[in-house]
Structure 1
Amino acid sequence: MSLKSLNLDDLPEFDPPADLWPRIAAAYEGRRRSRRRALFGTALAAGIALLAIAVPQLRGPQPIDDALAALQRQSRALEVELADLSANGAAPIESEVELRAIETALQAAYDRGGADAEIAPLWQARNDLLSSLIAVHTAGGRLTRI
């Protein structure tokens, strides 16, 4: 049957119930409210997730073990001292390979979430190496490791 052959006059007479339009409007409004609640809930969940990620970042670095922090401060001070010696014409670092190996091990330990008991000895080894390099540079000698 095509639309051209459809005669609307042949359709039966239909009188909708009086409460049909209010029911349609109520159902439509209910769906709108449901969509708004779902959208609000999704936005709220996304906001909470962002806050959970952002708040620790806003507080800055988390406090770490005091002994580990002391080793890190000592390492920074030794780096500055060694850089000053190297800038004043001291011999180049012969143990740069060993220093890079320790730094690589430190980074790997941090990357896998190593405990302070694993990380602290690496910082200590780094500090010991930097101290020995400073001593050698100060004495004007060359460091030889066998």
Structure 2
Amino acid sequence: MSKTGSREERELVKMLWDADCAAMRAPASGGATKKPLPDIIAGNGKIYLAIEVKSSSKDRIYINSEKIEALCEFARIFGAQPYIGAKFTRKKWRFLTPELLHITPQNNYRVDLDLAFQKGMEFDEILGKDKQVKF
């Protein structure tokens, strides 16, 4: 994993702890194991989150289909809500459920900056603390 991805994961774990959620980076995520592990797992006894973290300095993020399938499988087994945590440079975090992602002709997934900010949830929303109206 790139240094940027690790930094973003650590940032999100800190945000989750600061919001009274237990959170950890899954050290075996990113292909080091055959098990379906997300980048981050978190919970507070009421909500459980499985998050695949992606960051970009551009306005588009591509995600391999195996990553999304593994995220969904882990979330199903664990009883968590699966999210893709998208962090675009100098923008706030956005969280998207897998069904919101665009499927590419190669059957992978894409998150565009516009999609992330039109349909994605803010941090407090995934914690159930706030609700935005989406158009």
TM-score, normalised on structure 2?
Answer: 0.25
Report the structure number with the largest CA radius of gyration: 1
Normalized per residue, the structure richer in strand is: 2
Tell me which of the two structures has the higher relative contact order, counting C-alpha pairs closer than 8 angstroms and 6 or more residues apart: 1
Whichever structure has more helix as a proportion of its residues is 1
How does the TM-score come out when normalised to structure 1? Answer: 0.24
